[in-house]
């Protein structure tokens, strides 16, 4: 049973704090067009909905246009869910591209969009109801929080600034840190904000939580799977059966910490 209150909240961004599905799809489609140059610049009807359903398989940004490629090639959704890593590897190998190259294309498209029309880019994101208010409440009660994400830190800070949350560089660990999340958590644990520091980690990817779970140095970190994020029903069931991982609902998240378990 977790302690009644954490002294540090560590949160993923996409799928926990912010839902950027619409922005992901538009950015991914533009990257797809640049890489694969389809005859039509408009995405096929229904492609966005398929992408939204399969978003849980995507771990980092370069996979988004690759996922669209798999869908355009009519790969079955069940197969993508079961074999995504292998499918993504096959696609980039067959097209002779590398993840860093795809990632650079995605980031350049996003940078251009932000620079040319920031308002429309921001408008394609929505924050899950009550999440920003809950973070503000945590800060008011002296609960520190950091964000650990595979999204670029500058994008995270820009989005949160729009919501009235101005974060310092030390509060955001984005893709630019080039460190796995469990390593960042170990560093935070070692810093030990005070002698009785208690870290709660909220993430929407079960695999990420399972990696943390197997780090001996992180055995005191409480783990939560955000069931409103980019995860599947099967993953939520796995988390429910795992005694180390707490399945967290959005309604619970918005309440006091005592209601999180």
Residue 113 located in a structural domain: yes
Looking at residue 141, what DSSP letter applies?
Answer: T
Q: What predicted TM-score, i.e. pTM, was given to this entire model? A: 0.86
| Mean pLDDT for all residues in the chain | 92
The reply to whether 235 and 153 lie within a common domain is yes
The reply to whether 249 and 182 lie within a common domain is yes
Query: How far apart, in Å, are the Cα atoms of 76 and each of 56, 60, 70?
Result: 15, 21, 9
Last residue of a domain, which of 76, 103, 123? 123
Cα(199)–Cα(145) distance, integer angstroms: 9
The reply to whether 139 and 107 lie within a common domain is no
Last residue of a domain, which of 97, 123, 149? 123
The pairing of beta strand 126-127 with beta strand 18-19: antiparallel
For residue 151, the domain's CATH number is: 3.40.50.1000
Lowest mean pLDDT among 117-121, 176-180, 194-198, 214-218: 194-198
Cα(97)–Cα(164) distance, integer angstroms: 39
The reply to whether 135 and 231 lie within a common domain is yes
**Mean per-residue pLDDT, 143-172:** 90
Percent residues over pLDDT 90 in the chain: 75
Enumerate the H helices of the chain as residue ranges.
Answer: 21-36, 47-54, 63-72, 77-94, 99-116, 118-123, 131-140, 153-162, 181-191, 206-213, 233-241, 250-253
The residue range of the domain holding 168 is: 8-19+127-259
Q: How many domains does the chain have?
A: 2
**Mean per-residue pLDDT, 201-206:** 96
The pairing of beta strand 18-19 with beta strand 172-173: unpaired
Cα(163)–Cα(132) distance, integer angstroms: 7
Residue 2 located in a structural domain: no
The reply to whether 143 and 243 lie within a common domain is yes
Residue 97 located in a structural domain: yes
- pLDDT-derived band of residue 92, with 50, 70 and 90 as boundaries? very high
Residue 28 located in a structural domain: yes
The reply to whether 71 and 186 lie within a common domain is no
Highest mean pLDDT among 3-12, 44-53, 191-200: 44-53
Cα(226)–Cα(239) distance, integer angstroms: 10
**Mean per-residue pLDDT, 118-139:** 90
Query: How far apart, in Å, are the Cα atoms of 19 and each of 93, 126, 249?
Result: 30, 5, 15
Nearest to 188 by CA among 170, 215, 203: 170
The reply to whether 119 and 84 lie within a common domain is yes
The reply to whether 188 and 88 lie within a common domain is no
In sequence order, the β-bridge partners of residue 8 are 144, 199
Sheet architecture: strand order including 222-226? 172-173, 144-148, 8-11, 199-203, 222-226, 245-248
The reply to whether 144 and 15 lie within a common domain is yes
Please determine, for residue 167, whether its predicted confidence score (pLDDT) is greater than 80: yes
**Mean per-residue pLDDT, 227-234:** 93
Residue 253 located in a structural domain: yes
Higher pLDDT, 198 or 50: 50
Last residue of a domain, which of 58, 88, 123? 123
The pLDDT value given to residue 84 = 96
- pLDDT-derived band of residue 137, with 50, 70 and 90 as boundaries? confident
Please determine, for residue 23, whether its predicted confidence score (pLDDT) is greater than 90: yes
Residue 1 located in a structural domain: no
- pLDDT-derived band of residue 5, with 50, 70 and 90 as boundaries? confident
The reply to whether 203 and 89 lie within a common domain is no
The reply to whether 189 and 218 lie within a common domain is yes
**Mean per-residue pLDDT, 12-35:** 96
């Amino acid at each position: 049973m977790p302690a009644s209150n954490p002294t540090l909240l560590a949160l993923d961004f996409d799928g926990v704090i912010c839902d950027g599905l619409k922005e992901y799809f538009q950015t991914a489609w533009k990257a797809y067009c640049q890489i694969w140059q389809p005859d039509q610049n408009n995405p096929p009807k229904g492609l966005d909905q398929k992408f939204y359903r399969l978003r849980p398989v995507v771990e980092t940004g370069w996979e988004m246009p690759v996922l669209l490629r798999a869908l355009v090639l009519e790969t079955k959704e069940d197969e993508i869910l079961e074999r995504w890593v292998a499918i993504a590897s096959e696609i980039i190998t067959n097209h002779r591209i590398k993840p860093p190259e795809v990632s650079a294309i995605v980031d350049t498209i996003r940078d251009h969009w932000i620079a040319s029309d920031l308002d429309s880019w921001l408008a394609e994101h929505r924050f899950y109801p009550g999440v920003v208010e809950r973070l503000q409440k945590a800060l008011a009660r002296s609960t520190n929080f950091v964000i650990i994400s595979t999204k670029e830190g500058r994008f995270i800070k820009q989005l949160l600034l729009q919501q009235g949350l101005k974060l310092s560089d030390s509060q955001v660990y984005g893709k630019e840190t080039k460190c796995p999340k469990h390593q960042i958590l170990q560093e935070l644990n070692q810093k030990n904000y005070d002698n009785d520091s208690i870290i709660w980690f909220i993430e929407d990817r079960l695999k990420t939580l399972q990696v943390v779970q197997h780090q001996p140095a992180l055995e005191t970190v409480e783990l939560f799977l955000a069931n409103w994020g980019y995860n599947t029903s099967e993953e939520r069931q796995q988390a429910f059966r795992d005694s180390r991982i707490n399945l967290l609902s959005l309604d619970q998240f918005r309440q006091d910490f005592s209601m999180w378990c």
